[in-house]
Structure 1
């Protein structure tokens, strides 16, 4: 560690993205300013192929910790993803096999590297230690967790009240995540406030097994201040992915509610708080939210692609959505002529399932050459331009 961080640097770390620190802010400041490099980690379960804006708050905190001279581990939950975190779920998650998890992980590091410098962190996989645990070792670990402390979790209480099943595998998820901290002997963990229970399980295990302190830093969730719901929703397909092109990112950001403008600028970017406060004042004074949302969307694209692509995304959006033109980067699909519209949408991953494709058609959300599609079995022809939803366009080519 080249130099001891100042108090203002540490306060800046905790001032914007962080919600709560365990055991206390004072203890975290003491450890972070001790001059000793600490090891922090962020765990991500690859249950899908995308890292979205809701994940970026944690990555921005890691970026600051790296800048302060601390070691950061990005933990791929390739083992825990096969169970799926029950946090916030009112039913058992769909079970993923190892092949699906590996496929989901294919572009994770490319996405993370858009925020963290490639060689500034270490990558680990929790299958390294969890896959090899014996039943005797699991039994020993289980002595540190009680049924009472786990069953009190709100989502389990909700399921019990509704007569829904809770598998023993789900019950053990916090223990698996908690053991990650022990296996890596970390000094701290970063995660959203919805991960507090799981992270505190790791804190308890580190104290009991390793006899050391573990800092838990919970970050603010990206929630709509009006509805209190998460702005990014994977299950509904409404999220901005770090895999999105510049035009897709801009268009998706523009489709968000006006109430998402300030949370995204505050928790998902490094735009100065002075500028965020200025936008908040302009919004309060009645300025057109569309103008402010465009500024937010442009900042996002600039963060991941740079100033020129951000300007081009603005122009593309204006051309397509204000002047009724076609996007410059329209996706061309070959060897699709003769397919049904449902098959084309599903086979090219323009919908998560055939059922979703059918729902889009039923809701009038699919057009071929500006004509609304009503028949699931309508076939597509070479040269046709297909619009799916509000922002996606594809062209059928030979």
Structure 2
């Protein structure tokens, strides 16, 4: 094993909190492998880079010679983690949980060393616990203690219902630590209460308490909200290389250092050099993002995937060539004046996160038809403003990357009778309607791709 000082440097790099850090050093000084715990509830089948942050820290522990236990929360998932929630989570069925767990483990092994990972399911002890056992564990906590967590306090004060079973979640997560005799438990910063509950329960049961180690929540490609599929700002571990690379190119410059530290394969010392270069202005943010995109693709898709994804990115977006994109369907809405609501169309196509964002994109000059900016306040457009072969794009103009194309783009193809669907370009709002419009919607087929284009926002590119 490395020296305690060197291990501490690696372990603390990128960590948000270690409680208490002095006790972690004492555990390391014993010279014995520690038992590192990470519990995950398989509430979703797919993982993204945000999920990968604690997994990457777990891999560092493995490389340092420590034991790693990944707990699949098929028991706690039946309750639903209330952390950061302002309402009760919907309960999942056991079948959903088991199906999600299978894909979760396979994706987690893209990061962890399968040969050095112990996988257990907390349903093995939670679901078999009798009432006497449950009461014994619950007796170690008070309602006042559980209400100390911020999200419960806010819900209680606002008279938002808190289901009784939600109180059991931190108790059951704490019991996991007792069952596997954890030395260190990891989680996101929103998990600190649960991790400290585990420390408290272990002490009350006469065990050496675990260390709570939290990792920062990784912001998504918008650089504002935490990475989430529901926000559309995520980079999935199973994303195609071209999409993974393109989305990486969309992160704001100010997020480069954090992405390198939390998501890349670089060592802490290498990331320190990048941070220093960014601070003194000697680094090129554009080239750093390209290198980061290559690194992520190689990590999750194998060596060489990054170079191929970069070449595709350059071919499609730097050289202005369009690639084939997957198909999707959208509803085109025409108002009483025969106009297309452009802001709504941008939202439906995934080019803007919301209609409000689309209006801001329009007002900021970021929405373009064939490269020409749409006038401010032009939220409605005449169908005749778009014709066959036109390209609709969205993207802010960032001075730091003047050579990049627009950040999000969409092109379209229309299915015509006896005509191959790929033979003609079409913008959805070019639907021909009679002068007297009696129907308010027209359906067309469109294709979408989130392959990405600039350093400010990643292109969510579409085709029809």
Question: Normalised by the size of structure 1, how large is the TM-score?
Answer: 0.81
Higher helix share: 1
Q: State the alpha-carbon separation in 1 of the partners of residues 116 and 442 from structure 2.
A: 51
Q: 1:241 aligns to what?
A: 236
Is 1:271 aligned to residue 315 of structure 2?
no
Task: Report the 3-state secondary structure (helix = DSSP H, G, I; strand = E; otherwise coil) of the residue aligned with 2:114.
Answer: coil
1:17-61, Cα deviation, whole Å (9 max, x unpaired)? 323223x32321221231333322111111111222122232222
**For the pair shown, which has the larger CA radius of gyration, 1 or 2?**
2
* TM alignment of 1:287-366, pairs within 5 A: 289-327=285-323, 330-331=325-326, 341-342=329-330, 359-361=347-349
Q: 2:101 aligns to what?
A: 105
Q: 1:9 aligns to what?
A: 6
Task: Report the 3-state secondary structure (helix = DSSP H, G, I; strand = E; otherwise coil) of the residue aligned with 2:129.
Answer: coil
Q: State the alpha-carbon separation in 1 of the partners of residues 271 and 427 from structure 2.
A: 40
Cα distance change of structure 1 residues 357 and 307 upon mapping to structure 2, 3 Å threshold: farther
* TM alignment of 1:57-136, pairs within 5 A: 57-136=53-132
Task: Report the 3-state secondary structure (helix = DSSP H, G, I; strand = E; otherwise coil) of the residue aligned with 1:190.
Answer: strand
Q: State the alpha-carbon separation in 2 of the partners of residues 286 and 176 from structure 1.
A: 50
Q: State the alpha-carbon separation in 1 of the partners of residues 120 and 56 from structure 2.
A: 19
Task: Report the 3-state secondary structure (helix = DSSP H, G, I; strand = E; otherwise coil) of the residue aligned with 1:164.
Answer: coil
Q: State the alpha-carbon separation in 1 of the partners of residues 206 and 303 from structure 2.
A: 48
Is 1:150 aligned to residue 146 of structure 2?
yes
Is 1:373 aligned to residue 423 of structure 2?
no
Q: 2:456 aligns to what?
A: none
Structure 2 portions without partners, runs of 5+: 332-343, 350-354, 359-391, 393-408, 414-424, 430-439, 451-458
Contact 2:10-2:268 at 8 Å conserved across structures = no
Pick one of 205, 209, 215 that aligns with 1:213. Answer: 209
The count of residues paired between Structure 1 and Structure 2 equals 366
Cα distance change of structure 1 residues 88 and 357 upon mapping to structure 2, 3 Å threshold: farther
Q: State the alpha-carbon separation in 2 of the partners of residues 83 and 376 from structure 1.
A: 42
Task: Report the 3-state secondary structure (helix = DSSP H, G, I; strand = E; otherwise coil) of the residue aligned with 1:40.
Answer: strand
Structure 1 window deviating more from structure 2 (280-289 vs 62-71): it is 280-289
Cα distance change of structure 1 residues 358 and 221 upon mapping to structure 2, 3 Å threshold: closer
Cα distance change of structure 1 residues 202 and 357 upon mapping to structure 2, 3 Å threshold: farther
Structure 1 portions without partners, runs of 5+: 334-339, 344-355
Q: State the alpha-carbon separation in 1 of the partners of residues 345 and 45 from structure 2.
A: 19
Task: Report the 3-state secondary structure (helix = DSSP H, G, I; strand = E; otherwise coil) of the residue aligned with 1:119.
Answer: helix
How much has 1:186 moved relative to structure 2? 2.2
Is 1:260 aligned to residue 329 of structure 2?
no
Contact 2:56-2:111 at 8 Å conserved across structures = yes
Cα distance change of structure 1 residues 366 and 270 upon mapping to structure 2, 3 Å threshold: closer
Alignment RMSD (CA, Å): 3.1
How much has 1:157 moved relative to structure 2? 2.2
1:62-96, Cα deviation, whole Å (9 max, x unpaired)? 22222232221111111212222111111222221
Question: Normalised by the size of structure 2, how large is the TM-score?
Answer: 0.71
Task: Report the 3-state secondary structure (helix = DSSP H, G, I; strand = E; otherwise coil) of the residue aligned with 1:191.
Answer: strand
Contact 2:410-2:462 at 8 Å conserved across structures = no
Q: 2:340 aligns to what?
A: none
1:75-125, Cα deviation, whole Å (9 max, x unpaired)? 111121222211111122222111222222232222122212221111111
1:292-349, Cα deviation, whole Å (9 max, x unpaired)? 3222222222322344210111111122223333447x55x7xxxxxx8259xxxxxx
Cα distance change of structure 1 residues 41 and 237 upon mapping to structure 2, 3 Å threshold: same
Q: State the alpha-carbon separation in 2 of the partners of residues 19 and 227 from structure 1.
A: 18
How much has 1:223 moved relative to structure 2? 4.2
How much has 1:359 moved relative to structure 2? 5.0
